Structure 1
Amino acid sequence: MSKVDMAFIGGRGLFSNYGGVENAIREIALEVSKKNENIIVYGASNEDENVFPLPRNLTRVVCPLWIYQKLGQHGLIVFCVLHALFVGRPKVVYLFASGPCIFTPLLRLGRLKVITSLRAVDSARDKWGKVSQKILQMGEYCSWRFANAFTVNSKEMVEIYAPRRNDVKFIPNGAKGIETKGEGRLSEYGLTSDRYLLFAARLDPVKRLHILLEAHSKLPAETRPMLVVAGGHVKDKLYEQQLIDMASPDVVFVGHISKLELDPLMAHCRAFILPSVLEGMSNSILSAMAAGKPVLAADVPANSDLVEYRDALFTADDCDELQTKLSVLSSNDEFCATLGAKLKERAKAEYSWSTTSEKFYQLSKSIN
């Protein structure tokens, strides 16, 4: 193996469409690979939802399937860290998300430079047990305490961590346009372009899909648009059943889908809705903005910093306000077009994967 310049650890790998960490690592690694740096991206061998040709200087190292199947994400991270320490030996290791960051001290002891990147305060999610929460808190502590450089992707997190580490770097996500613009499986789902709302996120209580389902069900049946729910990876089966039970007949659950399947749903939706109350910087919102779609998101700092416009926000957990704004989105074509155009211009002006990747690249050079 040629001398490795940088390696990325976090998430399930280059070809996975699981969530924001995977999307960020993929976009950053592909952009930085244009500089002829030798790059490793670690991941799992069975996460192949979005396969594409790799540049010659970008290597995919995967955890053996048996480790991933028996030990899950914990085993995956340990494998990646040990491979980086004893085999890959990159000049710089990027650790994305709270869990992997717990290994920052070990990598530093192994004389590797480390850049950490928190994508949200994961320990604050209400799905964790006490042990898992403590592990994530330790990872968050290690991320700012021991890394050569420490980054976050929201201004809210800068405010949280600046008192602890004053050189915390804010590096936002980028916005990527839709690549697949055909109609995909719209007819299979019984959907008509511009006549449905889209929710795309994990079915996790913190994403507040139950609030959206309640507000949607209260819209007048004769004018209520369909609601497409794209999300899976459910850990709480009781919560999943609760969602199914409260959904109106106009809700379509499509499960966890690849980017190839999600892009047409985004391209043809009337609006993108994200009532989540815990975000870093949402890649889904950015994708909707880049596509010129109106967005309606919970008014939490990470979302309000991103969309900026009050028309694109509702008070978090306020079902009545959400219902009112859904009604406007469902009936007012001019409002949708205007808001979508404003958000597209903001995405173009403020959020670029090229700019984001350059910031990570320059940070790696500054610590070498």
Structure 2
Amino acid sequence: MDDKTISRTRPDVCVIGLRGFPDISGGVETHCEQILARLSRTSPLRFVVLGRRGYMDRTHIVNERLDVRPVAALRNKYLEALPNALAALFYAWAVLRPRALHIHAIGPALVTPLAKLLGMRVIVTHHGCDYERAKWNWAGRLTLRMGEWAALRFADRVIAVSPSLARDLRRRFRRRAGRIRYVPNGADAHAETAPAEQVLQRFGLAPGGFVLGVGRLVPEKRFDDLIDAFENSGAQGKLVIAGAADHGDAYARALTGRASERVVFTGSLDRRTLEALYRNASLFVLPSSHEGLPIAALEAIGAGAPVVLSGIAANRDIGLDAHHYFKCGDVEALARALAAPGALYAVDRDAVLARFDWDVIAAQTLEVYQSMLDRSGMLAAVERINAPA
């Protein structure tokens, strides 16, 4: 649809800090798409998401209460978050006039003080300590820590996506502890899937004949460890790594240079194709050194895949038994896990999904919005949805 069909109604919530959706890979993007699609169907609130031009080129209208609009954006490995957050903030303030602004991630959260100066109510979702990512130098890490401080100091509400992160924030920002809420990432128990036979044939795979890793091709995902472990394990079948780099760099080129008959890089895939791979993998592995709360692992569990994860705090927050975890960076331990039967790492899918259900998570997010919007704002939303056509 084109811009002429966009609703001109003042949104209740404007969401910024993400690339956009649908079919744009990333944990923040999946988080927003899953929650907002549900809330736009089940709540009276109206949402506008401001994505980044270059990742999306036209407005996507999900339904009458949710649209995703591209805003002019800078696409750069190091300088993307802040200028794009500023552009989205000023568009929201000058054009949309939302009742609340929801900022995702601590890089974009640098604009929180400015949003407050402009008179906006602000929610920030903290998706993880991005200053721990390998790509950042001291200046980048300092900037991200400033974004975290700005979020915790000035936002009206802060959502943390993992319990360990929520505990850490409450410890470090004790005076703001009452404004911090744990609302996790989730998995979809009824995810749609592409035809398995077509997907497997496309990549030369057999059902149950491959180990799967999913994520962006960045150092903190540690896919180089996964390849080393696979090559040393004596495991049969293939290793499939699904994902791409946002910005071509030496690391991604070196990683994809290790492709072979048994090591397959698929590039970025849509969610239905990924679901088919999850359902047919002998084992899903996430060897990361940094995560928020890993959606890829939750999706793999939701699809019924056996799972092995690095033992970082965010992965342990999923709450699997100890044998599902290995010490991050321990290639020998990972190789032993790959050599073992995949059935050893089967997960109680229903028990995990009961704790990470997108429907429940959307309801928890709605509670945060309701606590932010004054009574008149909520009444306006209800009256709007009940108004005759």
- TM-score relative to the length of structure 2: 0.86
Q: Does 1:126 align with 2:128?
A: no
Pairing 1:189-268 to 2, within 5 Å after superposition: 189-220=203-234, 223-233=235-245, 235=247, 237-246=249-258, 249-268=261-280
CA distance in 2, matches of 1:52, 1:262: 22
Q: Does 1:137 align with 2:145?
A: yes
Cα shift at 1:74 = 4.1
2:304 aligned partner: 292
Asked whether the equivalents of residues 17 and 259 of structure 1 are also in contact (C-alpha less than 8 Å), the reply is: no
Distance in 2 between the 1:134 and 1:170 partners? 25
Change (3 A) 1:234 1:2: closer
- What root-mean-square deviation, in Å, do the aligned CA atoms of Structure 1 and Structure 2 show? 2.2
Q: 2:159 matched to which residue of 1?
A: 151
Residue 224 of structure 1 aligns with an amino acid whose one-letter code is Q
Mapped to 2, the partners of 1:42 and 1:3 lie a distance apart of 14
Decide which moves more: 207-216 or 345-354.
345-354
Q: In 1, distance between residues paired with 2:266 and 2:35?
A: 29
Match of 2:325 in 1: 313
The Cα of 1:256 is off from its aligned counterpart by 1.8
**What secondary structure sits across from 1:320 in the alignment?**
helix
Cα distance in structure 2, aligned partners of 1:33 and 1:327 = 45
1:115-173 CA distance string (max 9 Å, x none): 11110100111211333222211111111110001111112212221121322211111
Report if aligned partners of 2:278, 2:304 keep a CA contact under 8 Å in 1: no
Q: What is the rounded CA distance, in whole Å, between the counterparts of 1:260 and 1:10 in structure 2?
A: 25
- Give the Cα separation in 2 of the matches to 1:201 and 1:359: 27
Q: Does 1:166 align with 2:171?
A: no
Taking structure 1 as reference, are residues 348 and 10 closer, same or farther at Cα in structure 2, changes over 3 Å only? same
Structure 1, 71-80 or 114-123: larger mean CA deviation: 71-80
Deviations for 1:261-318, whole angstroms, at most 9, x for unmatched residues? 3222122111111000111101101101111111111001110111421122111111
Cα pair distance change 1:334/1:252, threshold 3 Å: closer
Does the C-alpha gap of structure 1 residues 154 and 72 become closer, same or farther in structure 2, counting only changes over 3 Å? closer
Write the letter of the residue equivalent to 2:203.
Y
1:10 touches 1:22 (CA, 8 Å); kept in 2? Answer: no
Q: Secondary structure at the match of 1:42?
A: strand
* TM-score normalised according to structure 1 size: 0.91
For residues 286 and 351 of structure 1, the distance between their equivalents in structure 2, rounded to whole angstroms, comes to 8
Is 1:364 aligned to residue 378 of structure 2? Answer: no
**Structure 1, residues 92-124: CA drift from partner, whole Å, max 9, x if none?**
111110111111111111111111111010011
The alpha carbon displacement at 1:72 in A equals 4.7
Contact map agreement 1:197 1:270 (CA 8 A) in 2: yes
Q: Deviations over 1:232-255 (max 9, x none)?
A: 125463323432455564100111
Q: Distance in 2 between matches of 1:292 and 1:108?
A: 44
Query: Contact conserved, 2:280 with 2:305, CA < 8 A, in 1?
Result: no
How many aligned residue pairs are there? 357
Equivalent pair of 1:213/1:248 in contact (CA under 8 Å): no
- Bigger shift: residues 273-282 or 2-11: 2-11
Q: Cα 1:285–1:237, aligned 2, differ >3 Å: closer, same or farther?
A: same
Distance 1:53 1:367 in 2: 25
Asked whether the equivalents of residues 100 and 121 of structure 2 are also in contact (C-alpha less than 8 Å), the reply is yes
Q: Give 1:10's aligned amino acid.
A: G
The equivalent of 1:346 in structure 2 is: 351
* Alpha-carbon shift at residue 354 of structure 1 (Å): 1.2
Listed as ranges, the gaps of 5+ residues in structure 2 are 1-7, 374-389
Are 2:340 and 1:335 aligned? Answer: no
Q: Does 1:56 align with 2:64?
A: yes
Q: Which residue of 1 aligns with 2:50?
A: 42
Q: How does 1:10-89 map to 2 (within 5 A)?
A: 10-34=17-41, 35-48=43-56, 54-64=62-72, 67-68=73-74, 72-89=80-97
> Quick one: distance in 2 between partners of 1:112 and 1:143?
14
Gaps of 5+ in 1: none
Secondary structure of 2:233 counterpart? coil
Identity %: 26
Contact 1:122–1:136 at 8 Å: present in 2 too? yes
Q: How far does residue 229 in structure 1 lie from its aligned partner after superposition?
A: 0.8
